[in-house]
A and B are shown apart, each in its own frame.
Chain A
């Protein structure tokens, strides 16, 4: 579109204005010093955030003898992947990995589906005592009975030492429901009304209109929910005391970091089979490799979640 006369005039004025105040907008020597310090700080801080991951990684793929001597600090040497392969063969670790993966996927999918559905339901003014039930749900964000009553409750429900203890309590997530509700309220009501006129049921409207349109927010809560599930550690520690087969990867890692400080202790503790232990040579490598196995899934999904950061955190500020 061609610029109007007025716009051209404005642009010209602006140019003249900058010319006139050239001195004010010029870079001063003080700015250079400031920038050097500023850039240095941010680059250094960023390095402290990345380097540990890099360090762990190069130590798991380098020659295990060199690693034991502490010779691998910046550059990997003697590359190999046997540590990871041995790790997969260690029964406990692959079992824990499976538990973590399945709880993350199943738990998050159910949570997202429930949040979407409930988020839709609570936007419906005509629901019987809608306000009361919505508050009944939301108020649970602000109090909790405490760790011990929670544990006793789970025991009473017979959920301790079962896989479902990871899944069922997390299905209803009030905070995510609020996020979805806020989002759905921003969808033009006409869409839904016209579908309603055509005789669509609530379920049809939810499936055909609400679900597809609220995908951005659902992706956001999916990512955050999945990270939460993957990182969750105390529930495994407290609820699975009698069921080591349901320990999560985080829990296993915690045990390895704490328990065994030398190779024979690891082998003797029955945590890991002798062959695996001897093939990996030292406990340092074992610990680093499990750490890496636990971190890698996060690093894989990280680029995808990056774009949902601001959306998630800003929506959180607007609560209904």
Chain B
């Protein structure tokens, strides 16, 4: 195993870096619609990446129905285009296999190299087929409708990557000595573990890091379905508009007021679960305790939509409260108790408390059972009353937990979530319910103001991270322990 590497092998190791960069580049580019070489005419959806073009023929021809019927485009060239994209994708996948196998021993490397030679050759063939499909489509009778176009940058990027991978693989294959016949496939365990981890790293990258790429929309004048280019680059226009545009500014002020008010009420009452737990621990019957604990946690496990359904069943015009009061003769006709828009913040807080109180108390109940019973006995002997014991023994025992949760909620002051406000919102009470998360949703998804809502969301994310670090810093300073 530990035989010395020859100069050729060391050179091959260096060339491998170039080879892997080429492979990685084409894998990443495969996901970006902006550089999709297969988008050869205006009828192909702008959101198609090379990967989606190679996976779904229906997606590819989604908008071509009319063009096919009119005879502007022939379906065969689209079939060719689909096959070409598929071959390119398979080629890239084969080179990816080589990238993984290149971490193994000599035999593995040599086998892997054949994969990448075949894969990059397939890529080049696929790209050439895309070019042929393009020339077919460009020969249409109605170029002004079809808008044939070859994405030069994307095409060249993929082509260069493929050629680089092909050449480097060939060179490596020549440089590497032949593996002995009895050699077995093997890989160092550190790389083996890494390769097992790799799919999950890729998923994390795609779903958690790749969205950050979307922040660039904040700097463009983007319309839904359009593209980003240097022409509609607007710099910080949307950031300044937040403050300069009168209507937007008023919105933002209102939204911030609601967000901070409701988070503030939440933080100001965050001691409630602790009190709930302390008083529950005073209940001597274990059966009742269990009963209360079991049933007060149920609401935490239903969604906000269901909470709204319950609010509806109890408080709406034909709900429980109305019919009860009508039966008792207090009301003449049904009344919708959800309608009045006064004290909206408190009502929202009440629903939140109903849903979460029992659940939030559990951590404190567990905390109380961890407190040494002898402390209570000693205090009793010293003549301490019930409340004195609570205040001097239980509360100090729970304060560390409380502080951690408090800091976390301070760090999350801008994120109240949107579910609750979305379900309870009506056009009358939106004035009081519109919080940041809901505002971003309505602005971006409902009104299609993508750049502006990205700006708001982006600012929110950055402030939240800063707040979290601040809270963590405070925690380290005061308790000598970090919370994240």
Chain A interface residues toward B at CB < 8 A: 21, 24-25, 31, 34-35, 38-39, 41-43, 45-46, 48-50, 52-53, 55-56, 59, 68-71, 73, 114, 117-118, 121-122, 124, 126-130, 133, 136-137, 140, 142-153, 155-158, 168-169, 171-172, 174, 202, 227, 230-234, 238, 250, 253-254, 257, 284, 287-288, 290-291, 294-295, 298-299, 302, 305-306, 309-310, 313-314, 317, 319
Contacts and interface: CB of A to CB of B under 8 A. Distances in A.
Given A46-B292, A147-B441, A158-B59, A129 B194 contact: yes
Given A52-B310, A118-B200, A24 B444 contact: no
Interface residues of B, number: 100
B56 interface: yes
Q: From A25, A136, A147, A202, name the one whose CB has the most chain B CB atoms within 10 angstroms.
A: A147
A152 B207 CA distance: 11
The 9 A-B pairs with the shortest beta carbon distances in the complex, nearest first, are: A70-B323, A149-B214, A146-B457, A231-B303, A145-B211, A158-B52, A127-B193, A140-B208, A291-B309
A151 B190 contact: no
B191 A250 contact: no
A253 B217 contact: no
Nearest to B459: A146
Interface stretch (B127-135, B139-147, B229-237, B279-287): B279-287
A49 to B, nearest CB: 5
B61 to A, nearest CB: 15
Contact of B312 (A46, A49, A70, A287): A287
Contacts of A314: 363, 366
Contacts of B334: 70
A5 B297 CA distance: 47
B394 interface: no
Contact of A42 (B47, B288, B310, B381): B288
B111 interface: no
Q: From A117, A143, A158, name the one whose CB has the most chain B CB atoms within 10 angstroms.
A: A158
A287 B292 contact: no
B381 A24 contact: yes
A126 B190 contact: yes
Contact of B440 (A42, A146, A171, A287): A146
B322 interface: yes
Contacts of B191: 128
B320 to A, nearest CB: 5
Contact of B283 (A38, A202, A231): A38
Contact of B366 (A147, A169, A231, A310): A310
A175 B194 CA distance: 20
Given A146-B457, A158-B52, A202 B196 contact: yes
A74 to B, nearest CB: 9
Interface of B: 31-33, 47-49, 51-52, 55-56, 59, 189-194, 196-197, 200-201, 203-204, 206-215, 217, 279-280, 282-284, 288, 291-292, 294-299, 301-306, 308-310, 312-314, 318, 320, 322-324, 326-327, 334, 354, 357-358, 362-363, 366, 380-381, 383, 386, 401, 404, 418-419, 422-423, 437, 440-441, 444-445, 450, 453-454, 457-458, 460-461, 464-465, 468, 484
A148 B453 contact: yes
B228 to A, nearest CB: 11
A147 B296 contact: no
B197 A50 contact: no
B204 A137 contact: yes
B121 to A, nearest CB: 27
Q: From B47, B309, B322, B484, name the one whose CB has the most chain A CB atoms within 10 angstroms.
A: B309
B204 A172 contact: yes
Nearest to A206: B196
A157 B31 contact: yes
Given A128-B191, A202-B196, A137 B56 contact: no
B472 to A, nearest CB: 9
A178 B464 CA distance: 22
B305 A253 contact: yes
Given A147-B437, A284-B318, A295-B302, 9 more contacts: A45-B357, A53-B298, A56-B309, A143-B465, A145-B215, A148-B214, A149-B454, A156-B31, A172-B200
Given A253-B305, A257-B308, A137 B59 contact: no
Nearest to A72: B323
7 contacts: A122-B197, A142-B484, A147-B440, A147-B441, A153-B213, A250-B303, A254-B305
A44 B366 CA distance: 23
